[in-house]
Amino acid sequence: MKKKSVVKKDPGGLEAAAKVLAAGGRVPKKFAKARPASAGPTLSALEAQTKVTAARRVAFEILTLVGQGKGHSDELLHGVRTKELSEADRNLTTALVMGVLRWQIALDARISKLLQRPDQRLAEPVALALRLGAFQLLHMDRIPAHAALSESVELCRAAGNPHATGMVNAILRKLATAPPPGAKVFETTAAFAERLSHPLWLVERWVASYGREAALKICESGQSEPAGGGLFADAPAEENAPTMDDGSRLVAEIAAAAIPATDGRPARLWDCCAAPGGKTLMLALRAPEAELLATDVSAKRMTQMQARLRRFSYAANIKTAATDAVRLPASAGLFDLILCDVPCSGTGTLARNPEIRLRLQPEELVRQSERQRAILTAALERVAPGGRLVYSTCSLEPEENEQVVAAVAGGWRRVPVEELKVGLELKGMVRDGALRTLPGVDPCDGFYAVVLEREG
C-alpha cells in the first residue's frame, strides 16, 4: 500500500532557518539564498561593519560621497559624520580622507599593476577599500599593517562586495611586502606626475607655463599639508583680524592698497564675489571709513558669510546682497575700487582641495573662462572714473587669468602690483606687473591678481 504524499509546510526548511536567525544563530549555507542589493546588507555585511573602527568607517563614507560629487571634503569632515567621533578618531579620519584624495592617482597606479588585468575596472567600493588600505600601508608608518589590511577587507565586505575580499586581501599583502621603488636618475614628466599623484594633462600645462622645475615643486606642494608661517609669519598679529590663508590675504592687501584717493569723501568699494568673506573683512579693516558692498551669487554662501561678518565689530557697516555680479542693479552706482575675485578651477589650492585634481577636466577651463569674462566685463562697467579694479583667481591656468584680462580689459591701464604699499616684499612673485604666486615656489597657494585703472 502506497503512503500518501505529505505536503511539507516548510519547503526547504526556511521557517526553521528563520527561527535560527531570530535566535541569534547562523543560517546553514544550504538555506542561504541570493538576495537583491535593494534588500540591504547581508548578515555578514552587518558583522563586517562592527569590525571596522569608527574613524575608518566614517572616512570610507566621506570618500564615497566625495567620489559621487555629493559634498566637498572640508565640509564633510566638519559635518555630522565626524561630530560624535573622539578627537583622535577625527584626526585619523581627516588624515585618511585627505591622504587618499591627495594620493589617489598614485595609489591607483600601484594597485592596477597588481591586478590580473591592469585595465580592469573595479567597483567603486572595492577600489575605495583598496585605496584606504594602500594609503595606510604606504604613507602611515604608525598604522600597523595588519590593521590597515584587515579593516580594508571588512570595509569591502560591509559595502556589499564579499566576492572581492580575497582580491583586496591579496593585493594589500603584496603592497605590504613590496620593496619601495628605487630613485630614478631622471624622471619624465609622466613619471613624476604619477609619482606625485597629479593628472598628466595638468602637469604638462604647468611645465609649458612655468618650466619643469616649478611644475615639480607645484606637484610636491600639492602632496603636503598646508604649513603654518608663510608670507605673514613675521607680521605682528592684528587683534580681531579675519583668519584666512596667506594667498587670500595677500590679494585682499593688494586690493586695499589699490584704493584710489577720493578727495576726502568715503571711498565706495564693491567685493563682487565675496563669499566666504575673508577678503571683505580685510577691506573693512583696512578702510574703515569706506562704503563697502559685498555680494555673492550663492544665497547659501551669503547667509554663511553674513553670520561670519556679525562676529566682527568693524564689519557693521558692510552692506550685503545675494546677487549675480553681472546683474547688479544700476541703482548701486559706480565704485572707486572693485575686488573681482572670480570663481575659478582652484588649481592653485590643490594641497587644501585635493579632490579638484580628480574631477577637473580640460573643458572645465573653457567654461570657467567664459563665466570669468562675463563677470569682469560687468564689473568694469561699474568702475568710476579714476577708479580701479582688482581681478584675481586662485588658478594657475592662463585661460582664467592673463587671457581673460587680455580679452576683456586690453585697453585699460595696468597699475604695477609692486608699486603698491602692501607691507611685503613681493620680489619674485610679480610677473609683468601682476601678482603670480606658485605653490612650492612661493610660501603660499597659487594666486593671480592684476590691478586695472580707468582713466579719470
Sequence-separated contacts (24+) of 247-250 with Cβ below 8 Å: 247/348, 247/349, 247/394, 247/437, 247/444, 247/445, 247/446, 247/447, 248/278, 248/279, 248/394, 248/445, 248/447, 249/278, 249/282, 250/422, 250/424, 250/435, 250/437, 250/444, 250/447, 250/449
Q: Are residues 170 and 260 in the same domain?
A: no
| pLDDT value for 41 | 52
Q: How much is the pTM? A: 0.87
Q: What is the mean pLDDT of residues 363-374?
A: 97
Q: Are residues 150 and 111 in the same domain?
A: yes
CA distance 125 to 294: 42
Count of C-beta atoms within a 10 Å radius of residue 191: 12
Q: Distances from the Cα of 77 to the Cαs of 90, 134, 167, in angstroms?
A: 8, 21, 30
Q: Which residue has the cell 547667509?
A: 303
* pLDDT level of residue 194 (50, 70, 90 thresholds): very high
Residue 139: what residue type? Answer: H
E-only strand ranges, 236-332: 268-271, 291-296, 319-322
Residue 433: what residue type? Answer: G
302: in domain: yes
Domain boundary, last residue among 123, 151, 177: 177
381-412 burial code (b ≥16 CB/10 A, e <16): ebbbeebbbbbbbbbbbbbbbbebbeebbeeb
CA distance 124 to 333: 52
4: in domain: no
pLDDT, tens only, 95-151: 999 999 999 999 999 999 999 888 889 999 999 999 999 999 999 999 999 999 999
359: in domain: yes
pLDDT over threshold 70, residue 190: yes
Domain boundary, last residue among 144, 177, 210: 177
Q: Are residues 272 and 334 in the same domain?
A: yes
| pLDDT value for 42 | 57
Provide, rounded to the nearest whole percent, the portion of the chain with pLDDT above 90: 79
* Sign of the CA dihedral with 55 first, then 61, 64, and 70 last: negative
Quick one: cell of 341? 575675485
Residues 6+ apart with CB under 8 A from 230: 246, 443, 444
Q: Are residues 163 and 197 in the same domain?
A: no
Q: Are residues 312 and 418 in the same domain?
A: yes
Q: Distances from the Cα of 17 to the Cαs of 10, 36, 48, in angstroms?
A: 10, 19, 21
| pLDDT value for 418 | 94
Higher-confidence residue of 375 and 47: namely: 375
183: in domain: no
Could you report how far apart the first and last alpha carbons of the chain are, in Å?
118
Q: Are residues 150 and 218 in the same domain?
A: no
- The three-class DSSP label of residue 207 is helix
Provide, rounded to the nearest whole percent, the portion of the chain with pLDDT above 70: 90
- 158 burial (CB, 10 Å; 0-12 / 13-18 / 19+) is buried
Q: Are residues 86 and 57 in the same domain?
A: yes
Q: Are residues 210 and 275 in the same domain?
A: no
- The three-class DSSP label of residue 60 is helix
Q: Are residues 57 and 148 in the same domain?
A: yes
| pLDDT value for 378 | 98
3: in domain: no
**CATH classification at residue 384:** 3.40.50.150
| pLDDT value for 245 | 92
CA distance 449 to 357: 22
Which domain covers residue 293, as residue numbers? 246-453
182: in domain: no
403: in domain: yes
Q: Are residues 382 and 447 in the same domain?
A: yes
Q: Are residues 402 and 294 in the same domain?
A: yes
CA distance 351 to 373: 27
CA distance 391 to 404: 10
pLDDT over threshold 80, residue 37: no
| pLDDT value for 13 | 40
Q: Distances from the Cα of 35 to the Cαs of 26, 77, 164, in angstroms?
A: 17, 34, 17
CA distance 393 to 279: 13
| pLDDT value for 228 | 64
Domain count, the chain: 3
The distance from CA 394 to its chain's CA centroid, rounded to whole angstroms, is 12
**CATH classification at residue 135:** 1.10.940.10
Average pLDDT of the chain, as a whole number = 89
Q: H helices of 159-188, where?
A: 165-177
Q: Are residues 412 and 299 in the same domain?
A: yes
| Weakest mean pLDDT among 14-18, 76-80, 153-157 | 14-18
